[in-house]
Chain A
Amino acid sequence: MPSPRYWREIPSRYRLEASRCCGCGKVAFPARKVCPACGAQDWKQIQLSRQGRVVTSTVVHVPPDDFLMEAPYAMAVVETPEGARLMIQVVDCEPAEVLPGTEVDLEFRLIRREGHGGILCYGYKGVPAG
């Protein structure tokens, strides 16, 4: 990932910054300019809690080249208590055990690296709660 793009996305990747629509209360993650639910453009910035529940999941056995060393790995759509949904990896467990309803904590991890000499890209992954 080119470093300018990575840098621009730091607020959501490092701090889970999201926004709550002042019109209808919808939470957008990452923050948006226009509410996809009601069209309003006034937002309040919020920070997501570092926990959530799996909505749906899979175990990726055939990964993109950048994730070759991690396969097989679990990926899940995780809903935080604020109602935001994140597409993240769930690690530090048997991938097949990550199923809808699984409670997870979010931990700061290295997500990808840009080749041997490129930048390191961080963000959040899930781990089974507790």
Chain B
Amino acid sequence: MREVAIVGAGMTQFGEIWQSSLRDLFVEAATEAMRRASADQLDSMYVGNMSGGQFVGQEHLGPLMADHLGMAGIPAARVESACASGGVALRLAFLEVASGMSDVVLAAGVEKMNDGADVTSVLATAADQETEAYHGITFPGLYAMIARAHMEAYGTTEEDLAAVSVKNHRHGAMNPKAQFRREVTLEEVMNSSLVSAPLRLLHCSPVSDGAAAVLLCPLERAKEFTDRPVKVVGSGFATASMALADRNEPAFLDSVSLSAGRAYKMAGVKPSDIDVIEVHDCFSIAEICCLEALCLVERGKGGEAARSGFSALGGEVPVNTSGGLKSKGHPVGATGVAQAIEIYEQLRGDAGDRQVQDADVGLCQNMGGSGASSVVHIFQRV
């Protein structure tokens, strides 16, 4: 396999972007990624998208987006793994370049969620339709059950959950692309309305529109596009039982653990080598469980990480410096690529007020469903 680098990135504002359609969002992010890399041609493209069909009635996104990017003719396909769609698109682009099949490949993610669809129902299609969605479960509901199981098993508290939101909003306040550029207090989080007990509104990532795109090429050609490429050193992907009820330990995310193990092995790094991390905090409990599954904290100790400052900017391992899904926003198909962009910028030293000093190795973890799929990428400064 060839070594692969990211050489360009583009991302829209995340939020309620009423004036932009699904294709507008994609084109904005994709053209920015290409412009920044001074690339005018693509060999191939992957578009991560969870549910264009249900959110805006549009499927077949590969050719649609290639066409609107002025690239009709190239191979292009939409990739779906629920909220991990973007991360999986990145992985496929990485594999295509690493294999030698193509040189210049765009990995993008896009979602248009604010267009009138019943978002709760659409997202619930990422759960098992026969055994979960049929009975009225929602995604906040599934993660609330994970939270309650974690509280039962390890004594994790509502304060622990709230501390994750407080930290990520503090980070997000410094991110010009974030949906919510404001800090929240512990009291605000703990007094926000219940969405699915014990999870409250401010434990939940918002409904967002947005797109993100990164350009990949062989490391040997990276300098043609940028003076500061970032190397993709590890890619791990895993699945787990689809239905939460089928997991022996609802509070442990097997797919995250497996995908992380694979990525660490491929990259030849240990959890302690990681300088900056983006994890899939679709709900505050998810960040807690992900840190445990990534072996950054002991099992059961994830609740302390945000509260103690361990995972904050300036702490031992800054987590979700972008603001995470909570504050930056969560246009589901775009999220996995947007996470990679935060790490790309951190490793290039472009993260502004959010910059982690001397960041050399970064990791991002992107999850689908209630943890039925997870993809982890590890990046290194060149």
Contact = CB atoms under 8 A, between A and B. Distances in A.
B218 interface: no
B202 to A, nearest CB: 13
A70 B136 CA distance: 10
A125 B136 CA distance: 11
A77 B249 CA distance: 12
Contacts of A65: 118, 120-121
A71 to B, nearest CB: 9
A129 to B, nearest CB: 19
B120 A61 contact: no
A73 to B, nearest CB: 7
Contacts of B124: 64
A111 B141 contact: no
B148 A100 contact: yes
B136 A64 contact: yes
Interface residues of A, number: 38
B136 A89 contact: yes
Interface residues of B, number: 34
B195 A61 contact: yes
Contacts of B148: 56-58, 99-100
Interface string A3-31: 00000010000000000000000000110
B145 A60 contact: no
Interface in B269-300: none
Residue of B133, B136, B195 with highest tally of chain A CB at under 10 A: B136
A59 B196 contact: yes
Contacts of A29: 131
A9 B245 CA distance: 18
A104 B45 CA distance: 51
A72 B194 CA distance: 10
A119 to B, nearest CB: 13
Interface of A: 1, 9, 29-30, 36, 55-67, 70, 72-73, 75-77, 85-89, 95-96, 99-100, 111-112, 121, 123, 125
